Structures are given as structure tokens and as C-alpha cells.
Amino acid sequence: MLQTRKLAGKEVMSIGLGCMNLSHAYNHPLPEKEAKALIDKALDLGVNHFDTATLYGFGANENLLGTSSLKAKRSQIFLASKCGMAGVNGKRVIDGRPATIKAQCNESLKRLATDHLDLYYLHRRDFTVPIEESVGALADLVKEGKIRAIGLSEVSANTLQQAHAIHPIAAVQNEYSLWSRNPELGLLETCKKLKVALVAFSPVARGFLASSINLHSLPKNDIRLAMPRFQEPQWSHNQQLFKQFAQIAQQANCSPAQLALYWLLRQSDWVIPIPGTTNINHLQENIATINLDIADDILTQVTQLINQQTVQGNRYPKATLAEIDTESFSEE
């Protein structure tokens, strides 16, 4: 069954809404009225899992959600946010110290206009702070009732096991898609073993698997422009892969984005994709994926077409790769 999945002991729609790009990272932030209309539509479609972070828009994304219609339906939704990476004096700073985690949680609760979070992730592992200390602070927040469950983001199977020994971890949020297979290097199996949800961010490859992207139309601060996969000569090669992928989606009578999301849902019952979008039509298209039935031979074709061996370019620049804890392929 593709319609629902378990997350932190609760049943959620198998596709959630990643809210980052309403305020952060891609293109320009969506005007508030339009962003709230998209959230309203998500609720109408049955979406009950919304994901944000302290970092997104340096607090703006949490403020947006806290003043949206989510507030009136708080008891009906699953609300997740992240700590340990925030905007400080205009710069992104990773800080996993217990005092920082607790202060950021209090600030997030205020911005989100709620007294608790259903799931609170450590957004990045701070290599200067033992993971036991960061998780210990999150465990304190559970005891205080400010968060219901603990998550980790961009971590390895080994770190998950270390953290899980301190306090049960409900979810790991890592990049996972046809073109980013890092969780298959051990994390996915560890999640299954420990019964931890794998929340897949960028499930349509930062838009690459959704439509033909015109890089020249992107604003200079769009984070994709700094990523090797979106730079030449890698970009021209990867675009050829997308053209073939789009043809296979057409054969399957679905959109490219739907094929990418369906592929993820079929990898494991523990995988929960959280695509983001600023377009209501795309939102409807994404959510409709849960009712599709795509043949196994189609999934086999795209598995072979787009993978770590066929895609060119790393998923992050070298400086960012050095900050994250996920398993990596030898070429990264």
C-alpha cells in the first residue's frame, strides 16, 4: 500500500510536503499569500506531514507555517523542524551544542505557534560536538514535552546506531532519489533494522527529475548553480539522461516527477519522500503519485538509466561534502 506510512509512531500520508523552497534555496521566495494558498491546497489534498527548519529563510519559513492555516489544524498534522544549523549574522552556521539546540527549539516553537514538535531533527552533525551530547539535548526536549520524537539529517548508518543507543531515533532525513543513492550504502538497511523512517529530501533530484530546467533562468543565489551536477560539462550529459527518463515516464502514462516519487516509494515501506514545490499544479501531481500503479519493468528501466554510475558530478560542492556525515561513493 502506497497511501500511508508510519512516522514516529503516527500514520502520515506517504508523501509529505518539504516547505524549504517556499522561503529558501531555490529561485525567489514565494510571496506570502501564494505560499499560504499552496499550504491550504496541500491540506485539502490530505497532506498531513509538513517539514521545515530553523535554517530555511533564517526563520522565515517557520514564521510562514506558524501564521498559516496549519495553526488551526495543528492537532491533525505532523509537524517537523530541524535544529543545529541556522543563519547567524547572515551566514549558515552548524552548531550542535546542547545549549544551542535547546535555544533553537524554543525559538522554533514560537515561530511555529505551537507548544510541541512531532519530530525534531539535528539538521547536521557538528563534528566538534560528540553526537551523544547533541542527542542528549534532544532527549531532554522529549522529557520536557517540547518535542515528541528525535530525528537526524544527513548522517551515516554508524552515526544512526550511535545516536539510537542514547535515545530512540524516529527518522533520518537524507537526500535520496534515483540520482542520489547514498542511503543504499548501508543507511537504508540500518533504518529497516531499527524501524527508523527514512525521510527522503530532494526526491525529484532538486527538480532535475521533474522537468527540463533552464539554468540561465535561475537567480544567482539559487543553490543548484553551485552544485557540480548542474554545472558544465556534467549538466549537458545529465540532461540527456533526463530526456530518456521523460520518455519512459510517457510510456508509463505518468509525469517524470511521479515516476521519480513512485520509484522511491517502492524501495521500502520505511521511505517517505517530501518533495517541495511552489506550484499548486505540481503539488497535485506529486500527491496523485500515491494512487498510481507502475509496472516493475518500468522501474527496472529507470533504475538502470539513472544511478550513481550514469549521473555525472557530485551532489554537493567539496566544502559541503566535508560538512556532512553520510556514506559516500568512492568518487565523491
Rounded to an integer, what distance in angstroms lies between the CA atom of residue 137 and that of residue 181? 31
65-99 exposure pattern, b = at least 16 Cβ within 10 A, e = fewer: bbebebeeeeeebbbbbbbbbbbeeeeeebbbebe
User: Which residues make beta-bridge pairs with 13?
Assistant: 4
C-alpha grid cell for residue 55? 535554517
| Cα Rg of the chain, angstroms | 19
Rounded to an integer, what distance in angstroms lies between the CA atom of residue 176 and that of residue 154? 10
Report which of 174, 173, 175, 152 is spatially closest to residue 164, judged by C-alpha positions.
152
Rounded to an integer, what distance in angstroms lies between the CA atom of residue 154 and that of residue 163? 13
Which of these is catalytic: 56, 120, 121, 316? 56
C-alpha grid cell for residue 139? 532527549
CB-based contact 197:11 (threshold 8 Å) = no
Side-chain-side CA neighbours of residue 283 (13 Å):
23
- Quickly tell me which residue has 500520508 as its cell: 13
56 is catalytic: yes
Report which of 209, 227, 215, 208 is spatially closest to residue 315, judged by C-alpha positions.
227
β-pairing verdict for 85-88 and 91-94: antiparallel
Rounded to an integer, what distance in angstroms lies between the CA atom of residue 263 and that of residue 176? 11
Furthest-apart CA pair in the chain: how many Å? 53
Rounded to an integer, what distance in angstroms lies between the CA atom of residue 174 and that of residue 153? 6
Q: Which residues are catalytic?
A: 56
